[in-house]
Amino acid sequence: MRQGREIILWAVALLAGNVLGSSLALPAAAYLTAALASALISRRRPSTILFILTFILLGAASVQICRLPPLHGPSYLGILCSGLKARFSAYLGGFFPPGDERALLQALVAGDRSGITRQIRGAFGESGAMHLLALSGLHIGIVYMFASRVLSLAGGSIPVRRIRSALILALLWAYACITGLSPSICRAVTMITIHEIALARKASSDPLRSLAIAAIVLALADPECPREAGFQLSFAACLGIFVIYPRLKGLLSTRMRIIGRMWDGACLAIACQLTAGMLSWRLFGIFPKYFLLTQMLAVPVAGALLYMVPVMLAAAPLPHLQGFLAQIALHTTKLLYEIVRLIADLS
């Protein structure tokens, strides 16, 4: 438990240093020298304050290093993933006729919002369903559950479980790459990777510690991303889910499965709105009044759609079945948009 608290503290210090480095543009060498001096002093005289200071200075140095002229600009990996995202979105769009539904499907599944109109964006924003258009932990969670259930048919022996974990992680990282490696997607896949590694080692997996490790990895891999809205909203939502949601859920205990699921969904929505919702209001001036309706009506339909599309893509050897599934996906998308639009009209 103590190690978990230390990792969380390191992550907070690194992010604080990231903010410092973006606002105080000292040379990277100055930050690195100060970090090295702080680390050496803390080694000889162990001090929590000096250790935190070291991570703050490293966070500031990482920002200045990434802004050096040879390193500044999109990376080769970023360019490659952007190309994969465009190809995947175009391939997915080939199954559907042009229109709002195709644009919604490309946004929901591939993270391509280039075809989203201002009207659609406004409806999703006012209804509190904007996170469905931005690929997030919801999408990765559905892909993870889908892959886990399919691969669980192979058996449960130790070698099979390890192979299954490797295949699932490869699939998740491949999906992250073909959808553009957004901060929220990378955060979710990194946390699942940590969870799978912990399972393989038969160690406990603390969600907050996994979230802190994901923050450290992303902040070091791309020091500019902590100031992006997607990064902040994704981590804020996770904090609500891990800290607030369990406490709200414990307020009601029932044996009725339907009521229990409705209560779980309501608690999850409230927890996210208390963190990510308030942050969204501060950033964009939007706070959805009817987010509970969105959680109860729109999110299950979107989840069903995200389960449906992989099955449709996998049915390529059976063109008639694939076409039938594409029609179902199209009508499900229309239903989703109608639900979102009706909720937005209530505002």
pLDDT for the residue numbered 3 = 55
pLDDT for the residue numbered 72 = 60
DSSP code of residue 73: S
Q: Is the dihedral of CA 312, 318, 319, 323 positive or negative?
A: negative
Query: Can you list the alpha helix ranges (DSSP code H) found in the chain?
Result: 2-23, 28-44, 48-66, 76-93, 100-105, 118-127, 130-133, 137-151, 158-178, 183-200, 207-221, 229-239, 245-249, 257-272, 278-284, 291-293, 299-314, 319-346
pLDDT for the residue numbered 1 = 46
pLDDT for the residue numbered 147 = 85
pLDDT for the residue numbered 71 = 59
Amino acid identity of residue 273, one-letter, is: Q
Element (H, E) at 315: none
3-state secondary structure of 222: coil
CA-nearest of 291, 301, 295, 299 to 344 is 291
pLDDT for the residue numbered 5 = 77
pLDDT in tens, the chain (347 residues): 455 678 888 999 999 999 999 888 889 899 999 999 998 988 888 888 888 999 999 999 999 988 877 656 667 777 888 889 999 999 999 999 999 999 999 999 998 888 899 999 989 988 888 888 877 788 888 888 888 888 887 777 778 888 888 999 999 999 999 988 888 888 899 999 988 888 777 766 788 888 999 999 999 888 988 988 888 988 999 999 999 999 999 888 888 888 888 899 899 989 998 998 889 888 888 888 888 889 889 989 998 998 899 899 989 899 999 999 999 999 999 999 999 999 998 87
3-state secondary structure of 296: helix
Tell me how many degrees the CA angle 128-125-138 measures, rounded to the nearest 5.
50
pLDDT for the residue numbered 73 = 60
Give burial (CB, 10 Å; 0-12/13-18/19+) of 320: exposed
Instruction: Count Cβ atoms below 10 Å from residue 161 Cβ, excluding itself.
Output: 17
CA-nearest of 242, 190, 198, 181 to 215 is 190
Beta-carbon contacts of 264 under 8 Å, excluding residues fewer than 6 positions away, are 249
CA-nearest of 58, 52, 48 to 20 is 58
Interatomic CA distance for residues 324 and 330, integer angstroms: 10
For 78-93, write each residue's pLDDT tens digit.
788 888 999 999 999 9
Interatomic CA distance for residues 186 and 198, integer angstroms: 18
